[in-house]
Amino acid sequence: MPVMSTNLIKNFFSGPATRPYPVVKREPFPRARVRLVYDPDKCTYCGICANICPAAAITMEEDRENLRISRHYDSFACISCGRCAELCPQAALLMAVRTHEPSDAKVVEHSTSR
Amino acid sequence: MQQVRVDRGADAFISPGALLKEVELLASEGVRFTTMVCLDVDQEFEIIYLFQRLTLDMVRIRVRISKDEELPSISSILLDAVLMENEIKEFFGVRITNLAIDFQCRMLLSAKSPQTPLLKVRPQSQSLGGGE
Amino acid sequence: MGFLKRARVKSPWILHYCTGGCNGCDIEILACLTPLYDVERFGMLNIGNPKHADILLITGPVNWKNRDVLKRLYDQTPDPKVVVAVGVCAATGGVFHNCVNTLGGVDKVIPVDVYVRGCAARPEAIIDGVVLALQKLEQKNSGGVAYATGTR
Amino acid sequence: MARVTFPFGPQHPVLPEAIQLQLTCEDERVVEVLPVIGYMHRGIEKAAEANLFPNNIFLCERICGICSFIHALCYCELMEGMMDVEVPPRAKHLRVVWSELSRIHSHMLWLGLLADSFGFESLFMQCWRAREIILDTLEMTTGQRVIQSSCVIGGVRRDINEDQEPDVRRKMDAFRKEINAIYPVFAKDYTVKSRTVGKGILPKEQAWSLGTVGPTLRGSGWDYDARTLGYAVYDDLGFEPIVEDGCDSYARMMVRLHEVVQSLELVIQALDRMPKGDLAVTVKTFPEGEGLIRVEQPRGELVEYARGNGTAYLERLKIRTPTFSNIPALLVMLPGCELADVPVITMSIDPCIACTER
């Protein structure tokens, strides 16, 4: 305890270290990798992201009758590795810095090719 | 042994009967157990024992046994091998005898888990995912 | 009883249990309790006894061995209680989706009220999740929502 | 005397992870201990056979969230060795920077948890506050706090560019101030010494024969560190393993404390020597044959073995994690100790259950 006391006194006068999170929101670092943003207009449904996804969060489904491909993205399975955004040839996927908000139900995003 | 690359078939296989004698010889030289790797090769198990010398080089022993053959445990000579032997027994169903501590295939898996998960072809009688 | 109900919402006690993930979310939960994110500001306290807890923070995909432990912890926690699944493996299994020994998601075993996304979940997201859990606790307290009845 | 057996865990406030120790006690003294593991087992080795081999990086990273970068590094170095890929020198230096940063963050985390295990709350808080500087550096440079996902086969995905480098150095200076304040507390404080000195003795001979690795081995007087094998660029950096002769919890703690300071110097050295150039090379082949690699994790030596067959799927991936070989040491250290010392001694091997059970 005696050795620690100098630290304690210093900490007492150095002001709080706490980030008052919900009140003051700290800007994440510009290269942070948190959330996957998808642009359905740019997507060509090539399926590279679905093949490479290590968590199987992106899946592609082929509807042979109507010649359509639908893409499903489960953000509750996404591990934010950013591999898909790196490999997307159309830059339809981006990693954004905004933190995910909590939710009370699992929702899967769908989109279908025209 | 190199840090990374090991060419296949670089060292000879020894028979399971000669295993204990070989390990005893190594242990008397001050060699300690590092790990063992089990591979499911067609109708046989290939088991690689890796040891470490005081000079930090690695020593390797390879054993090939058929799937229903028994393998003596080396845990009586090197006690710390017991966890890895239990793991192999559990994951592959290798019949290892004379284990110093036998977890009865319940070290990592539970009764409801899929049994012997690392076999390439699982026995038909076991269902995947257990039962409720 | 009005005082007890209010006290429960103003100072929820947390029980943290790891059901077999990678630890990433566990250390982020601990990071929430330490100076920089300090959830004790909200009156939250991390405790080791399920009988004192109001909020269960569960991380990791459930496996066959600790499924029973998790059920037991859930049963021992007194009503009203809120379950928060932290991290994507607690929600769906995430990267462990094809691992043989996992069940994939806490909601296969016990009912989950709040999901927190992220791998690993950031402390900011965990704080947000706990704040949402508090609202759920308040609703359950005032009888707005029927108590979770369990899947058994 | 009556013997009592009772469980320590799987849910216990000292251990964030699920492990059970079945302790048999006579009065306050532990006479027998049996670790019951398996509460965190997922089956990663099987899943690694079912995944495409580049996807296994992200799976291997999540064996353990604390030393995740080094798990990814180990897998990538193994695959590169099997496919004869030459990694660009800049990527090698970046790998050293990030693996040493994650070593610092793991050791600071452990030092805090050790302080917590004997009830020294203010020290716990101070360690974790200092650790956040490292986490900020990691987030700034790789994009994520604990699971960096920045190592790929053939190089790295992220760079520390010119605008970031002064910032990283500033953060390292800030961290040095913090560790200078924490160091004397661990080294000299009466409370810390009375709870760790002479507790959990692991004699030198037994430390070798039981197969312990990492700080547990080095705390018993063996100068073995897998970094001396010279993967990445460790052979170019001035690196000497840290050894203590005490054989007790205090010695193991001092090894880790010194390693924090050493890792800080390694980070600075790697930043100074960092050459310019490419970050990664493209890999077009598939792994074939067998490979074995040893790298040093914060907790000790990590051994990985892989066998490939020339396709995109591995035939077998075997991961021997450090805690797996440190657990037998608990069977020697715990019997004979007092019940109140069980958390401290268990913490002193830095158990990582997620690693052990994979």
Q: Where are the domains of chain A?
A: 28-112
Q: Which of A21-30, D174-183, D334-343 has the lowest mean pLDDT?
A: A21-30
Which residues make beta-bridge pairs with B62?
B13, B48
C151 inside domain: no
**Which two structure tokens, joined as six digits, stand for B97?**
């005898």
**CATH number assigned to the domain with residue range A28-112, chosen from the 4 options 3.60.110.10, 3.30.70.3270, 3.40.50.970, 3.20.20.20:** 3.30.70.3270
pLDDT band at B2 (very low <50, low <70, confident <90, very high): very low
Q: Residue A25's closest chain C neighbor by CA?
A: C124
CA distance D238 to D120: 35
Put the strands of the sheet holding C13-18 in their side by side order: C45-47, C13-18, C55-59, C82-86, C114-116
Q: How confident is the prediction for chain C on average, in pLDDT?
A: 80
Q: How confident is the prediction for chain D on average, in pLDDT?
A: 85
Q: For residue C27, what is the domain's CATH number?
A: 3.40.50.12280
Full residue range of the structural domain in which residue B43 is found: 13-97
Q: For residue B17, what is the domain's CATH number?
A: 3.30.460.80
Smallest CA-to-CA distance from C29 within C118, C115, C123 is with: C123
CB contact under 8 A, C64 and B117: no
C57 inside domain: yes
Pick left, alpha or beta for residue B66 (phi over 0 → left; psi -120 to 50 → alpha; otherwise beta). Answer: beta
pLDDT of D245-291, one tens digit each? 888 888 888 999 999 999 998 888 888 888 888 888 888 888 888 88
B124 inside domain: no
Mutate to test the interface with D, among C16, C27, C45, C72 (most CBs of D within 10 A): C27
Residues of A whose CB is below 8 A from D59: 54
Token pair 């010392």 is found at D341
pLDDT value of residue D136: 87
The pLDDT of B68-84, averaged and rounded, is: 83
C6 inside domain: yes
pLDDT value of residue C151: 40
- Nearest-by-Cβ selection for C22 from D41, D64, D109: D64
pLDDT of C77-101, one tens digit each? 887 888 998 888 888 888 888 888 8
Residues of A whose CB is below 8 A from C37: 18-19, 21
Residue type for D332, please?
A: V
pLDDT value of residue C150: 42
Full residue range of the structural domain in which residue C93 is found: 2-141
Q: How many domains does chain B have?
A: 1
B61 inside domain: yes
The pLDDT of D126-138, averaged and rounded, is: 88
B4 inside domain: no
Q: Which of A97-106, D72-81, D129-138, D299-308 has the lowest mean pLDDT?
A: A97-106
pLDDT of B54-63, one tens digit each? 777 778 888 8
What is the dotted CATH code of the domain comprising D3-357?
1.10.645.10
**Which two structure tokens, joined as six digits, stand for D275?**
């050459």
B2 inside domain: no
B64 inside domain: yes
pLDDT value of residue B5: 46
pLDDT value of residue B108: 79
C152 inside domain: no
Measured N-to-C along each axis, helices C123-141 and C2-10 cross at an angle, to the nearest 10 degrees, of 170
The pLDDT of C45-67, averaged and rounded, is: 84
CA distance A86 to D355: 29
CA distance D182 to C100: 43
B109 inside domain: no
* Cα D104 from chain centroid (whole Å): 9
CB contact under 8 A, C100 and D43: yes
